[in-house]
Amino acid sequence: MSEPLGLYIMAGVYIFAGLMHIVIPKIYMRVMPKYLPAHKSLVYISGVAEILLGIGLCFPLLKNLAIYLIIAMLVVFLITIHFYMLSSKKAAAGIPKWILILRIPLQFGLIYWAWVYL
């Protein structure tokens, strides 16, 4: 366990988030843009990806690849999900606009958090 504790905390966050995609997919399906096909499949795929990337952070040989893929995933989520949710009241799925706006810098914070471990 030569890696910093923050890296393992990040791994736990992604594993937990991925599990939530699988356990309660309806929450995530509600915020999927209409132009994307197969919402349920995409939610499950993104959940499995988050779990695998979280696990990858725990192995030195996979850590950097996992970090680059996490950053790419966060950028995709930012463009497809977070900005989409700001586009209309229906897309916001009942989440207050101020929370949706605060999620944008949070995504950049998560990207930075991953980047510092490269």
Neighbour-count burial for 27-40, b at 16+ CB within 10 Å, e otherwise: ebebbbeeeeeebe
CA separation for the pair 96, 31 (Å, rounded) = 13
Q: Enter the tokens of residue 115.
A: 């980047």
Which of the four pLDDT bands, split at 50, 70 and 90, describes residue 88?
A: confident
The predicted model scores a pTM of 0.94
Which of the four pLDDT bands, split at 50, 70 and 90, describes residue 2?
A: low
Percent of the chain with pLDDT strictly greater than 90: 92
The answer to whether the CB of 70 falls within 8 A of the CB of 107 is no
Percent of the chain with pLDDT strictly greater than 70: 98
Summarised one tens digit per residue, pLDDT across range 40-51 is: 999 999 999 999
pLDDT at 17: 98
pLDDT at 25 exceeding the cut of 90: yes
Q: What is the 3-state secondary structure (H, E, C) of the chain?
A: CCCCHHHHHHHHHHHHHHHHHHHCHHHHHCCCCCCCCCHHHHHHHHHHHHHHHHHHCCCHHHHHHHHHHHHHHHHHHHHHHHHHHCCCCCCCCCCCHHHHHHHHHHHHHHHHHHHCCC
Q: Averaged over 67-72, what is the pLDDT?
A: 98
